[in-house]
Amino acid sequence: MIELSLQKKLQGSHGAMHLDVNLEIKEHDFVALSGKSGSGKTTLLRIIAGLEEAQGEIIVSEKIWQNSKNYLPTQKREIGFVFQDYALFANMSVLQNLLFVSEDKKLASHLLELTELTELQNRLPHTLSGGQKQRVALCRSLMRRPKILLMDEPLSALDMEMRNKLQDDILKLHKEFGTTTIMVSHDPSEIYRLANRVVMLSHGKIMQDGTPKEVLLQTKGSQKFSLKGELLDILKADVIYIGIIAIGQNIVEVVMDEAEAKTFKIGQSVHVNTKAFAPSLSH
């Protein structure tokens, strides 16, 4: 069990903010930390890592990492950290980057094999693609067999295909090494695929805590399909009305009745809802 009870005053993007988080995390869980930027996610991760100080307690498997009397420095905490920007040593090869953390050559080659990097082990980071660099960073974070793996938006700089590949690698390593993983992520599909629990932060406090489906599924009443969009236009066609709605990068049409056409205004933000039975999928 990982027990966190942490408080800190922060200067957020919207002025002063009080981070106040009480969280119990089961070992081997994969927790996604989500929430708007400036909600305190990264700060929380850094506090757990010992990169930033805060008041309160961190107890990991009954071992005190910090309380009012004790404070374990980063290097004594059994953590692995993966940053968004890889943070590899530019003058060291892939293998050297791993061995710098720990001399365990067997583990290093096992990790490189798991992530299909064996052939690249003597390359320097600048010769690698973004996805390859992040796989190296992921391997390096596991070289000390950490109890907790902390990842701060590890895949946000990568394209979709590379993300999917890395998600598989992350899940594989999380299971093989039995780490408790805490990952900051904004991406619902990534959270759904990887995490078994989502903690949503807002202004430094936990607003939602549950399974990915409980927290992320956008519903309206019993309608399981709800997307947020902007009403661009309402066209009258015969005895019905057609709403033109922008959802993300897409424009869609929704048939509206007279009452709806009178209720909604062009430019308004709307939710497009339907039953899960109505939409169909195509390639």
Partner 1 sequence: MNKIDAKVEAIESLENITVVSFSSFGQALKMMSLELDKNIKIGSKVTLGVKASSISIAKNLSTELSISNQLQTTVISVNNGILLTSIKLRFEDFILESIITLESSKRLSLHEGDTVIALIKSSDLSILEVLK
Question: Where does this chain bind partner 1 (CB under 8 A)?
Answer: 219-224, 238-240, 255, 257-260, 275-277
CB of 240 to partner 1, least distance (A): 6
Q: Could you tell me which residues are beta bridge partners of residue 17?
A: 10
Question: Which lies closer to partner 1 via its Cβ, residue 120 or residue 231?
Answer: 231
CB of 269 to partner 1, least distance (A): 18
Q: DSSP 3-state assignment of 261?
A: helix
CB of 29 to partner 1, least distance (A): 23
Question: Which lies closer to partner 1 via its Cβ, residue 9 or residue 262?
Answer: 262
CB of 199 to partner 1, least distance (A): 20
Tell me the C-alpha distance between 62 and 259, whole Å: 61
Phi and psi, residue 88, nearest 5°: -85, 160
CA dihedral 148, 149, 150, 152 (to 10 degrees): -170
Let me know: does 24 contact 58? Beta carbons within 8 Å.
no
Question: Which lies closer to partner 1 via its Cβ, residue 83 or residue 225?
Answer: 225
Let me know: does 41 contact 184? Beta carbons within 8 Å.
yes
Please report how the helices 105-114 and 160-177 are oriented relative to each other, as an axis angle in degrees rounded to 10: 140
CB of 13 to partner 1, least distance (A): 33
Question: Which lies closer to partner 1 via its Cβ, residue 246 or residue 255?
Answer: 255
Question: Which lies closer to partner 1 via its Cβ, residue 3 or residue 209?
Answer: 209
Half-sphere exposure of 101 (CA within 13 A, CB side): 25
